[in-house]
Amino acid sequence: MKVCMIAEGCYPYVIGGVSSWMHSMIQLFPNIEFQLVAVIADRSISGKFAYELPSNLTQVHEVYLQDVDWIGTNRNRRNRVHLKKKEVDALRGLILGEEVDWITVFHIFDRKNISINQILMSPEFLEITKNFYIRRFSEITFSDFLWTLRSIYLPLFFALKFMPPKADIYHCVSTGYAGMIGSKALTIYPNAKLLISEHGIYTREREEEIIKAKWVQGIYKTIWIDQFRKMSRCAYYFADLVTSLFEQARYLQVELGCPDDKAIVTPNGIHTEIFEDIPGKDPSDPLIHIGAIIRVAPIKDVKTMINAFYYANEKQPRLKLWIMGPEDENPEYAMDCRDLVKALHAENIVFTGSIRTLDYIGKMDMTLLTSISEGQPLTILESFAAKKPCIATNVGNCSGLIYGENDDFKEAGIIVPVMNISEISNAILKLANDPALAKQMGQNGYQRLMHKYKSVYMEETYRKIYETLEQLREVAYTN
């Protein structure tokens, strides 16, 4: 069996929850040959891997959402593309948000004699854009609208232009551009199967980013959001199976267009055995250590964490916060966080950079996660494996992990509102000032982990999924 995993903006370039999950998945199945299609921004990070690739990951293909195809705008008529009526209709459906003939859209980009630049500069694209403009956006400047629409479709067209390698199963780790490549693969290799595993709900995450973004304004936010919704609906349509990490996420997938009978829940899992002999806290250490094993990035809301810790530390001076994770995803934000620590004179906050989790987590008294968006965080499961309670914001499946879902293991930490400095500070103080409660919560989390979130459970689930899809593929092939 050959599996092609397709991911956007994560493995193997960035350390994080989704990347760790992908790395673990490939290692769980040493007898399966994996290839990886990695969708990244541009060639500047090409080959800059943060992971040592497993031996059964035989090849990495890179797809750049910004690349040289756009360079130059040769207007020579001999270089113009001729689109057939069916292709024009499919392109119109895509841009106007009508029912999209995706198979024809994919076939447009299979043509070897066509470039992305030719399509974006074609009279057909111009005419479709005019139609779109007149229908909905005639109050703004047309030239701005035209060039913005070209910039919106440029990364999608780069993804569609990519020729995926042949595989038995395509496993996309999101919808979006990865999902588009996986969907296109089925039109090239019709006996293959498509699996989509969403850790966060891609469409909702992009909506949140675009709403808050400063680089896109006004009605263009709506166009971008509609674009990502279209892409997700396409991926859900072509997928044979769609997984999510918890029931609420599955509900959102169905709400966004995934057929109910395709959507299943597959919880995360971690290797609990590697936490059995980790170094623990020195019994004579008087400090109360809080560990935040995160990427220093806006989505983790590290600034709120720092402020909440600062106010808790004023009331409990024995507190110490360890912010443990890479700072290269958004260097400007990371520097802002360090500057905030300096401005507060918060000497009990330490940035460690990237660490080996096993070297630190056993020495903590609790862990802290202040994200504004999450799926089912591995850092909470790792906290439970080390028998540590966790304070986390009420996003994704954090509440389900900490308070439980249909089990009797009780609270394994405290859930707090997003960006609520006061509540986060109070939660820190509650656990810091009641070590017996913190210890019991850590034990509760450990029991919940061992009951539901071990890697062997995840391995068995995905083994059955792969086997089922392979059987369906073989049946389709023989027919």
> What tens digit of pLDDT does each residue of 278-322 get?
999 999 999 999 999 999 999 999 999 999 999 999 999 999 999
Report the 10 Å Cβ neighbour count for 426: 17
- Mean of the pLDDT values across residues 220-245? 95
Instruction: Please say if the pLDDT value at position 81 is more than 80.
Output: no
| pLDDT level of residue 71 (50, 70, 90 thresholds) | very low
Structure token pair of residue 443: 């034990």
User: How does residue 73 score in pLDDT terms, banded at 50, 70 and 90?
Assistant: very low
* pLDDT given for residue 72 in this prediction: 43
The segment(s) of the chain belonging to CATH 3.40.50.2000 are 2-64+163-265, 272-452
pLDDT score, position 464: 96
More confident of the two residues 68 and 447: 447
Length of the chain: 479
Q: Please list the residues that pair with 288 across neighbouring strands.
A: 319
- Report the percentage of the chain scoring pLDDT > 90: 85
Residues 6+ apart with CB under 8 A from 2: 32, 33, 34, 35, 166, 167, 168, 169
Q: Is 290 left (phi over 0), alpha (psi -120 to 50) or beta?
A: beta
What is the pTM for the complete model shown?
0.89
Find the mean pLDDT for residues 399-424: 96
Residue 70 — pLDDT band, cuts 50, 70, 90? Answer: very low
Q: Is the pLDDT of residue 123 over 60?
A: yes
Average pLDDT over the chain, rounded to an integer: 93
The residue-averaged pLDDT of 419-427 equals: 98
Q: In 10 A of CB 315, how many CB atoms?
A: 13
Note the CATH number of domain 272-452.
Answer: 3.40.50.2000
| pLDDT greater than 80 at residue 17 | yes
Task: For residues 215 and 57, give the distance between their C-alpha atoms in angstroms, rounded to a whole number.
Answer: 36
- Token digits for 469? 């899809």
If pLDDT is split at 50, 70 and 90, which confidence band does 79 have? low
Q: Which residues contact 111 (CB under 8 A, 6 or more apart)?
A: none
Q: What is the pLDDT of residues 39-65, one digit of tens each?
A: 999 999 999 999 999 999 999 999 999
Nearest to 399 by CA among 419, 426, 380: 380
Superfamily of domain 2-64+163-265: Glycogen Phosphorylase B; (3.40.50.2000)
pLDDT in tens, 198-230: 998 999 999 988 988 888 888 899 999 999 999
Residue 50 to residues 28, 45, 352, 442, Cα–Cα distance (Å): 19, 11, 17, 31
